[in-house]
Chain A
């Protein structure tokens, strides 16, 4: 559903289309007692209608914080957006006053959280909570809203939706709760859906069902979907494009199949190698050694250098910018081409 806000200036990109969501040079920091933690350091990405973007990274890489900044639900303080812009259909959300911005939440951009049990209000029945979206945002009557809520519960494949609408969140299994959360998020037919690790709290078979559900809903409604995850396996089938984040920056950006076939950044390569594979049974699983940098004190040069097997002298001094390696593929590595082609030897350390 398009917003009716006046004065939206469309910003055509190279393809001549206005991107649905355009994040540009976003910067977020947390001002804590121990210093300033730079959680997001210049993240840019674009999302088009019907596109699925996977944001990948380990804990603390800034992927969830980026999503919170886009939604405008960052806890301030300690979190502050210090720079950049988030444009929804050309409208810079960060420049809007809080009450105008709220009109975009739920209606234009909605979000699904990791743990659906804690993301649902424990004291209201689930049907009531979904219906609330219609009553509050669309002013529907209680009865109409309830019927719409039940319809929506059927759409996310909750069995016996009519009977279960009166149950409380704790009476549902993990997968069902996540379906209810999804139903709430898509209730107002948002253009962009951000799913923050939607399957982390679920077991593997349920994970697949939820991903399938998200993919189906996205196709039916032509939504833009941002999938935040640390699990490469989860997104392989559904994502169009992948952004790999590390230490608050994008390290690599590429179409999904290219990245799995041939990563152009040592970090992505390390991530892919650390997935257990059946054909390598019995061999030692390779892991990326070390820990992500302390965000209050990010070292000079390349953020990944301390853990990078290919680190050279230049990596100590210069931080590589995100640059196009081959058309459509970007990597923030001094040796992106070499990593992509596979002709670089690990440094002697």
Chain B
């Protein structure tokens, strides 16, 4: 930089350098994504749900505990768009506040299986041999336990009560689902890594001096992660539904936690007389699951350079 000529050089080089900003997979994927209606719709829905989950008070002035038994099971009206449930609580407020627990369970579980299954699958696929056998058989053992049955057993064995903090209840459900759900991601990661591992470019990277960690991080993972991300994003929807199922059965989240699953569970006795109690939380659940599945799909398309 002590060179007296840099100003001239900079002037000449600057425009050329900006023209060819370094393209990366992420940047290109983003460039594609923002031009896709599926992505825009699902991303808007996703952001909408996340906002609801983070700051529910933006959307309603009531809290889930503002209930009046006199209003029990009243239908939708101009005062309460979604009506009231059996306890006289505002269904709209409960649906808004229910998003947090449901989405937290879904996203945290997906992250959990992504870490557990992703690492296990990459290690199994890349190193092969005995490591692969060990990890795969371990996965098979967990895979053999039905998700709901296993989660039921775990959650029934460690019951909570009304005093258990909300976060503890949620983490219990997340752990139960993640521990039972990781083999699915492990299998997909493993088969994806197996395909990539023997690819010429991994051999070429090795021949040009790349080490194990670099080969895994720069060559194997970026080329094998696309299907894993898609399955994990789609699975978020599945986990939200699983949480609802567990809560519906009475072992998932427990009151005073507010979640869609709990609301649906409470609605089951009144489906014929007060269908609005089921309709609104269930619609929110479906819409949220749909948003995650669509998002997963859009990301898959964007992450594959060959579809570009």
Bound state CA distance, A331 and B56, in angstroms? 85
With A71-B207, A102-B211, A105-B207 as given contacts, are A122 and B306 in contact (CB-CB < 8 Å)?
yes
Do A166 and B20 form a contact, CB below 8 Å, given A102-B211, A105-B206, A110-B207? yes
Query: How far apart are the CA atoms of A249 and B20 in the complex, in Å?
Result: 50
| Beta-carbon contact of A106 and B20 below 8 Å | no
Complex A-B, nearest 9 residue pairs according to Cβ-Cβ distance, in ascending order = A106-B209, A105-B209, A118-B200, A106-B208, A166-B23, A111-B207, A119-B204, A119-B200, A121-B201
* Given pairs A103-B209, A162-B19, 16 additional interface contacts (CB within 8 A): A102-B211, A105-B207, A110-B207, A113-B203, A118-B200, A119-B200, A121-B201, A122-B201, A122-B305, A124-B24, A128-B22, A137-B209, A166-B21, A168-B305, A168-B308, A184-B204
Q: Hey, which chain B residues are within 8 Å of A146, CB to CB?
A: 22
Considering the chains assembled together, what is the distance between the CA atoms of A64 and B151 in angstroms? 53
A132 on the B face (CB < 8 A)? yes
Q: Are A128 and B222 in contact (CB under 8 A)?
A: no
Interface residues of A (CB under 8 A from B): 71, 73, 99, 102-107, 110-111, 113, 115, 118-125, 127-128, 132-133, 136-137, 142-143, 146, 162-163, 165-166, 168, 170, 181, 184-185, 187-188
Task: Report the minimum CB–CB distance from B192 to chain A (whole Å).
Answer: 13
Cβ distance A68 to chain B, nearest Cβ, rounded Å: 8
15 contacts between A and B (CB under 8 A): A73-B207, A105-B209, A106-B207, A119-B200, A119-B203, A121-B205, A121-B223, A122-B201, A123-B305, A132-B218, A136-B210, A162-B16, A162-B19, A163-B19, A188-B208
| Residue of A127, A136, A146, A165 with most partner-chain B CB within 10 A | A136
Segment 77-96 of B: residues with Cβ below 8 Å from A: none
Closest chain-B Cβ to A41's Cβ sits at a distance in Å of 23
Instruction: Give Cα distance in the complex from A105 to B207, angstroms.
Output: 6
Within 8 A of A (CB), among B111-132: none
Please name the residue on chain A nearest to B198 by beta carbon. A75
Q: A128 with B209: in contact, given A111-B204, A118-B201 (CB under 8 Å)? A: no
Contact in complex: B219, A121 (CB < 8 Å): yes
CB within 8 Å of A: which of B260-308?
305-306, 308
Q: Are A110 and B23 within 8 A (Cβ)?
A: no
Residue of A99, A102, A119, A185 with most chain B CB atoms under a 10 A cut-off: A119
Among B1-53, those with CB < 8 Å from A are 16-17, 19-25
Given known A71-B207, A106-B209, A162-B16, contact A124–B25 (CB-CB < 8 A): yes
List the A side residues contacting B208 at CB < 8 Å. Answer: 105-106, 110-111, 133, 184-185, 187-188
With A124-B25, A170-B306 known to touch, is A113 a contact of B200 (CB < 8 Å)?
Answer: yes
Q: In the complex, what residues of B have CB within 8 A of residue A113's CB?
A: 200, 203-204, 207
- Is the beta-carbon distance between A115 and B209 smaller than 8 angstroms? no
Q: A125's closest neighbor in chain B, by CB?
A: B23
B225 to chain A, nearest CB (A): 9
Are A123 and B25 in contact, with the CB atoms below 8 A?
yes
A106-B208, A136-B214 known; A123-B200 Cβ under 8 A: no
Asked if B54 is at the interface of the complex by the 8 Å CB criterion, the answer is no
Q: Are A170 and B305 in contact (CB under 8 A)?
A: yes
A166 x B22 contact (CB < 8 A): yes
Residues of B within 8 A of A123 (CB): 25, 222-223, 305
Residues 177 to 227 of chain B near chain A (Cβ within 8 Å): 199-201, 203-211, 214, 218-219, 222-223
